[in-house]
Amino acid sequence: MKTLFRVETPPQRREFVLRVSHEVGAEEHRGYVLFDDNDYPDYPILKWRKRALHLDLRCGVDEAGPEHILKLMNSPDCDHFVWLSKRIAESEPVHMVRVYAHELRHVIQGTLYSGLSKLTAELTVSLQKSPPEAPRTLYSIELPQELDAELAAWQLVRSVFGDDEYVAYRSREIANNAKAADYFRRFDELASSWRDDPIAETRRLLLSRD
């Protein structure tokens, strides 16, 4: 994948980006990574209001978006497109690496786990139909596809910055976000029983909801 920077990016930060790309193995795939110089909080299509995205374009582009992004997505050599918003590109390096590694893992999943995205879509619909008498916050990591990506991201954070910074970063996230403590509690619960096969885990969850 080719990495493009529209946002001003210091050399050390670019080195982090290249290291993560190499460790994940993203360089072997066709497509583009864009570190954008914009956020789109008011964009009419909700997905572009997010902080980052991965789009699998091997079946063609049926998306709409900002013009400079669509131009890249429609390139003949773009099988995958990873987008990082300005707020992620300019966030502290450890946070940028976490989000970037997470999105790159989705690129790898497309090769390793055929059919995972379709199963994930089915599970997402099922989870959204949870009975109202048992309300619970549903984090993205309830989906094995997302948990697998988040586990890979944390592994990269520890590889690049070390265990002490990993712990310190989690502490900063909890201090800055009232919901972060519950998120990490749930993440640790799910990680402790992870079987390293997102397709099998997704099928298991789907069967458990029948």
**Domain coverage including residue 126:** 2-200
Q: Give the model confidence (pLDDT) of 113-125 as tens digits.
A: 988 999 999 998 8
The answer to whether position 8 is within a domain reads yes
Would you state the pLDDT for residue 62? 72
The answer to whether position 137 is within a domain reads yes
What's the mean per-residue pLDDT of the chain? 91
The answer to whether position 208 is within a domain reads no
The answer to whether position 40 is within a domain reads yes
What's the domain count of the chain?
A: 1
The answer to whether position 125 is within a domain reads yes
The answer to whether position 205 is within a domain reads no
Residues 179, 168, 54, 48, Cα dihedral to 10° = 50
Mean pLDDT, residues 36-59 taken together: 92
Asked if residue 2 lies in contact with residue 79, where contact means CB atoms within 8 angstroms, the answer is no
Asked if residue 102 lies in contact with residue 81, where contact means CB atoms within 8 angstroms, the answer is no
The tally of CA atoms less than 13 A away on the side-chain side of residue 145 is: 24
What are the tokens at 62? 């049926």
* pLDDT above 80 (res 133): no
The reported pTM is 0.92
The answer to whether position 209 is within a domain reads no
Q: Give the model confidence (pLDDT) of 83-96 as tens digits.
A: 999 999 999 999 99
